[in-house]
A and B are shown apart, each in its own frame.
Chain A
Amino acid sequence: MDVILQSLAVVLQPSHLLMLICGVFMGLAIGILPGLGGIVGMTILLPVIYGMDPHSAFGLLIGMVAVIPTSDTFPSVMMGIPGSSASQATIMDGYPLAKKGEAARALGAAFTASLIGGLFGALVLTIIIPIARPVVLSFGSPELFMLALLGMSMVGVLSGNKPIKGILAAGIGVMIGALGDAPAVPEYRYTFGLDYLMDGIPLVVVGLGLFAFPEIVDLMIKGRSIAEVTTLGKGWLDGVKDALKHKFIVLRCSVIGVIVGFLPGLGGSVVDWIAYGHIIQTTKDRENFGKGDIRGVIAPESANNAKEGGGLIPTFLFGIPGSGSMAVFLGGLLILGIQPGPSMVTEHVDLIYTAIWSLALANVFGAAISIALSKPITRLTVIPFSYLAPFMVLIITFASYQATRSWGDLIALLFMGILGWVMKQYGWPRPAALIGYVLSNNLETYLFISVQRYGFEWLTRTGVIVLAVIIIGSLAMGIFYQAKKSSKASGSEEGKGK
C-alpha cells in the first residue's frame, strides 16, 4: 500500500504531470490521424526518452498510448474512418448516429465508456501485481524462454487468418532482431560488411518503417480528403447518461478488453469487434445495430481502452508484449535501463504503480480534454491528408535519425518502410514481426543461459513442459481452426461454381 501511495505522490509531481499531459496531447493527435496508432506514437517518442528519469518517461509513454483509443473515436464517428485499428467497430453505430445529427451523444457515450474501461484496466493491473508476484518469481530463464516462444506462437497464430504467415512474420522479426552483434560471443551477424548493421537495426527505425511509413503511403495513395463537415449536434449529457445506464455492458466489455489485451497477438484490431459481437449476441432487441444504436458505440469503446491495462500485465511481469504498441513500450523500458520480467516485481514495483496511476490519470485527462476540445478537434479531422503527410514524413525521418544519428537510419527506414508496405498488402501481420523483433534478443539470451546453466535438462523442468504443451496446443488449435475455415470457404466456392 505504501508503494502505491508513494507512486501516486510521484505521479502528482508537476514534472511528471507535465510529461503525462504532453503524452496525452500527443496521443490525442495520433488517434485523430486515420491509420496511425499506438505503435507509431510510441516509436516517435522513443528518441525523446533517452536519458530521461523513468517515472517521467512512463508519464509520457503511458499518457500517449492510453488515450489513443479515446481520440480515435473522432474520425470513426465524424467521418466513418477508423482513427486506429482499435476503433473500427465504433463506426458501425457511431457514424450513423453522427449522420442523424447525434455525433455529440455518440462521442459523449464513447468518452465515458472509454474512461470507465481505462480505469477498469488500471484497477485489474493493480490487483494482479501482488497476486502474480510469487508465480512470476518462480520463473527462471528456461520458463522465460518458453514464455517468449509462447508469446510469439500466439502472435503468429492469432494475428492473421493464416497461422503459417503469422509465424513467418514473427520469424522475419526475429531474424531482423538477430542482425548485428551476438549476445553470447563477440561476433557480428548478417552485416553484409556494413558498419551500420553491427549494432543491428534500431527499434525506432523498425517501428516507424513497418508501421508509420506504410500508413503514410496508403493515405497518400488514397488521396483521402474529407468530403463534408459533420456538425457535432447536441446531446453530450445524453451520451454520458447512456454509458452510465448501460453500466453492465461497459463492465462486461471492459473485462473482454483486459483479457484480449493480456493475450499476445490479438491486440487492438480485434478487441472492438469481439466486444461488438458480444453485445449483439447478448442483446434481444438488436434490430437497431448498424443503424445508430448507442450500445454499439459503448461496447467497443469500453473494451479498447481496458485492453491497455491488460496488455501491460505480460509486458511488465514476463517481458512478453501483448501487442505491437506494448512491444515498443518494452523497447522503451530497455532504453531506460529497466529489464522487464520478474525483476520488475522486486526491484521496480514503484514503476509499475507509476504506470498504473499514469494509465488511470491519462484516461481521465484524455476523456476530459476530448470533451472540452471536441469542437476544434472535430475541425482537425477535416484537414485533407495531403496537408499532413509532408509533416509526418518530417517526423518519421527526424525521429529515425535520432536512433544512431547516421545516414544508415534513414536508409534502413526506407527499406523497412517498403518491407512494411509489402507485408501490409499481402496479409503478413506486421505486429507479429515487431513482437518477433523485440523478443529476438531475449529469446536468444534466455536460451543461452538455460543451456549454460542446466544443459539439456532445462527441457525437463515442469514449467517448461507445461508451457510446451500450451504452445503445441495453441498452434494445433490455430491450424485446425484455419483448416476448418478454409474447407468451409472452398466448399462455398465450389457451391457457387455449381
Chain B
Amino acid sequence: MTLPYVINLLYQFADNVAFLLLAALGLMIILGVLDVINLAHGELIMLGAYITTLSYNEMHLPLPVCVLLSVIGVALFGLVLERTVIRRFYRDKLGALVATWGISLILSQGVLILFGPSLVSVPLPQWTVGYGGYAFGGYRLMLFGVAVLVVWLAWWIFYRTRLGVWTRATMQNPEMAQALGISTSRIYMLTFAAGSALAGLTGALYAPTTTIVPLMGTTFVDVAFITVVVGGGTNPIVGALTSSAFLALISTPLSSVLGTFIGRIGLLIASLVIIRFLPRGFSGYLRDAGRRRMGRGLVS
C-alpha cells in the first residue's frame, strides 16, 4: 500500500466518477425537471462523438472547436426532439420512454447506414503524467476537471439564477409555476436542450478515448442508467453527485482487481440492493431524511 498505489486508486476513482457524472447528469436533469426518461440519451452521446470526430477528421478543425460544435449540434437536435416528440408525453412517462427508444433505434441504425460500422478515432492528446512508476493520462484528469466544472455550473444555474428558481418551481409544482407566470413549456424546452447538450459534450470529450461505432452509446448508458436509478429523480444534482461517488467507490476496487466487466456487474447488483431499500434513490432518501431531522414528518 504505497503512496503511488493509493494515488493510482484515487486517479481511477476520479476517472470513474467523471465518467458516471458526465454520462448521467444530462439524463438526470431531464428526469428531474420533465419527469421523462430519454432512452435516446446514449444516441445523443454518440451523435456528440460523431460530430466531433467528423469535424476533426474531415474539416480539420481544432479539437475544442469540434467539441463546441458537438455541444451546439446535439443541443439543437434535442430542442427539435422536444418540440416534436417529447412534449406529447409530458403526462406519460412510460410512453416517452418507448417513443425515445424508437428514436434511439432510428439514430443508431441511421448512423450505421450513413457512416458505416466505424469511424477513425480522433487521436488522444498525449499528456501523460508519470509518478512513482504509474502513468496517468492527463486528458482523463482534465475530464475529471470538466465534470466538476459542469456540476458546479449546473448547481450555480439551479440555485443562483432566476432561471434556476423558475426551473425548481416547475419541478415542484408545474401548475402553480404556470399560475405565477412561468412559461413551463419554455423551461421544459430549455432543460431538454441543456440535457442534450450535456450528452453531446460527453460524447465529444470521450471521443478520443474510445472506438467510434454507431452503438457506442450503450457503453455510456449502461452505467448512466444505474447512476440515475441509484441517484433518483428528486434532486438531479445531489443525486448525480452522491450516486456517481458511491458507485465509483464500488466499481473502482472491483474493476481494478477483477476487471471492468465484474465492475459493471457489481454496479448492477449494488443498484438492485439500493433500490430495494431506498426506492427513491439517494436524492429521495436524503430529502426525506432532511425533513425528519427538522422534526417534520414526510409529506404524504
Q: Do A and B come from one complex?
A: no
A residues at B contact (CB < 8 Å): none
